[in-house]
Chain A
């Protein structure tokens, strides 16, 4: 087998050294009764060429050749070949968590740069080395707020990603943490009156997403003022990180939980992505996940180490801030390389193109009779439209034109079956937008 670096003779010699007659002898501590008597029923072995062939065949059964207007937490953005070139270097790819600082300075410095970039983006003081993804980052941020305030109620905007809310509920279910949802007001942002009415001094955190699941931007600064009056912490989740190239950072939030997929990571059918938690320095001790810190070596040279590890499970065990161990380091590295490539101007320009294309698309769609925008508040690259008929039926029609239609909001919000969440990033060109609008017009003209 090509991955195994031993000849049959070498195996025999090594077995002789350890005093085993054959390989089976090595497993003498496994009771005979439980040893497998026959080979596992697995497909293969396949050569490299056959493996590629198998996956190419699977790829052909997917959406190749379609134009997609899906976002809803996962975004298609331009990626430079440099990013993949870097993260495929074996020194990064095949290295472990940098516990041995002397021979992992590359990974450690890159994490330190990642933490810096995340602070700059979010306007927060400290950021960790990554969480699994945006959904678990949002959940861990809420649990962090619970620890900081010693309170047991959490208010969550209904406009937070439905799957993020599901994850939070799974984690909260047994812990006695009460999760209550606050609806949206007609412009798509969180219902501020309902929020005011529910906010009391027993609320640990208010969780909002901005831009929210309907695509509209939440008034973070205003919300922070209202939320802080009851000693509650404001947690802001972001699924579309490119928006931060055009939007003011959520600096007024107490904890920011971000999904970084938009920064150089392929959609990859749902993962792996990279979550981030950023917060204020005074909350550092309650922050989950790894942190890289700057220090010096025995001769005074700058170097980096994993630090404040006493918060973590391998030291504090049942008293740790979180059970997270493996994180998304390579994805964080991809985001770091990607953001260094984009730089200040590139990110601004990318964000600006998203803004412009989404507005052009909205204008084209609004020309179609019966199509109107659902919510008025400002948006970034996603917006919700109402159609004169069920989005599901319309999308089925669009598939015939090789278009993957917008997200069907009715799947998560039963009252919104005729509403669709359209995403337009810089990867979609004008002709595709015009073709989408044209096909949608035709679809809506057809008898049901």
Chain B
């Protein structure tokens, strides 16, 4: 890597200990208005339950120290706001700031989920409009916005399927899951009390339709499919797959994690999908925030509607919105209150910004992935040759010959000023490099990424050691994960003072 590589440069990084290590008794960062009612005698009011001494170990610091502490920590993170974040399957697109602004408005952020419906029409209208937009985008009949994230959406979807089949007389035993699926799919199926049967992909990385025909028996409740698959490849026989399932009374679940490849182009509802979840924190731009929060709405066909989680939003005469709790066939609640409403607000703001023009975002996302694929093909091994949609999966087969694996390349990418792509997933590609640029990257940023990848490939061939020991420019080097797991330290504890240690 040359010193003048365009994307990355040197920067001072401030050191910072744990907040607990800055604490000194008597400092404070927050003051309350004075108490304007008689001071209660807490010991008397609470008796034996009273915590006399306050919380032991809690930090005592000033406002500027708190602000600096977290600001310094923040500078140790990479973020979309700093540059391309090509994590495959995660859709790290621009998080518009107006979304943050509107989610914090008085009258939005301040609202209590139990306030009367006549004082909640604004919130309910937001929910209703988002429901309508997502139904239009997915081509489905009905939707619930309650699930907190994709995995909870999957669970909701499988419970809907179970309730529907149970009503037909037999909930059935198995859920089929392709070997390329996200790990949440099998974990979810188990919580919904289904046995998991993994199905092997055929040589092009797609579902083996003939094999599937044999596997779908009276015991199969559903197939969970990701489309485009985690290889970034569209499954063109999806309608045929749906048909095979339907003929035997089973249903088709679609993991909508990759909806950024389809929005405005095609609709799962038109291709035979019975139920699917969406990840609003992927396709619909709500921020990942270092791991959450998200939201995982579940859209479904009419046959599943009676089983939706309670409450269900309904529109009465005159446009008045109200929530219906009297749903005897409902699967129940999957989460308290009205779902992650603040996330729903942001997703709606995103959709409103684009309107029907959201198709352009999808086109740009696929164009970026295809462009990167074209420019890196040959430099990196491409295990599956079918056209890519919003992401492209390479393997480290070429670099492996010099002892450099996908994780090494990923870590080296950090030195070039990029966040790594997704490593070692999907599991069906040994040494996978899964790259999802999203529509938020300019041609210039894509070119910088391509240059960086080519440069690393060159290094892997000529100086593999520099790649294998990367990153070289970060605050910390590769961390000892083995010791972290063998002897877990999961919280800070005060170092015993000398007098205590002597006791």
Contact = CB atoms under 8 A, between A and B. Distances in A.
B431 interface: no
B32 A349 contact: yes
A93 B358 contact: no
Contact of A356 (B37, B290, B484): B37
Given A340-B59, A407-B114, A100 B374 contact: no
A420 to B, nearest CB: 12
A98 B386 CA distance: 31
Interface string B409-421: 0110010000110
A183 interface: no
A74 B114 contact: yes
A294 to B, nearest CB: 4
B148 A269 contact: no
Interface residues of B, number: 203
A295 interface: yes
B110 to A, nearest CB: 6
Q: Which 10 A-B pairs have the closest CB atoms?
A: A59-B107, A44-B355, A330-B289, A270-B337, A90-B81, A329-B291, A61-B122, A272-B293, A58-B122, A135-B336
Interface string B146-185: 0011111011000100100000000100000000001110
Interface in B3-49: 16, 18-20, 23, 27-33, 35-40, 42, 45-49
B353 A45 contact: yes
A110 interface: yes
A212 B472 CA distance: 53
A346 B23 CA distance: 14
A35 to B, nearest CB: 6
B265 interface: yes
B70 A174 contact: no
A310 B49 CA distance: 38
Given A308-B485, A356-B39, 6 more contacts: A58-B107, A62-B119, A217-B49, A266-B104, A333-B289, A352-B40
A116 B491 contact: yes
Interface stretch (A11-19, A148-156, A197-205): A11-19
A301 B351 CA distance: 45
Contacts of B293: 132, 271-272, 326-331
Given A105-B476, A297-B480, A41 B94 contact: no
A416 to B, nearest CB: 15
B239 A295 contact: no
Interface string B284-324: 00011111111110000000000001100000000000000
A48 B309 CA distance: 34
B143 interface: no
25 contacts: A4-B364, A42-B356, A51-B349, A62-B107, A62-B120, A74-B112, A91-B79, A104-B290, A119-B491, A133-B148, A135-B335, A136-B148, A244-B55, A247-B46, A247-B51, A269-B123, A270-B340, A301-B475, A310-B485, A314-B425, A326-B281, A326-B291, A327-B293, A331-B292, A404-B116
Interface stretch (B129-137, B212-220, B245-253, B458-466): B129-137
Nearest to B107: A59
Nearest to A10: B443
A83 B32 CA distance: 15
A267 B335 contact: no
Interface string B334-361: 1111111111010001011111111111
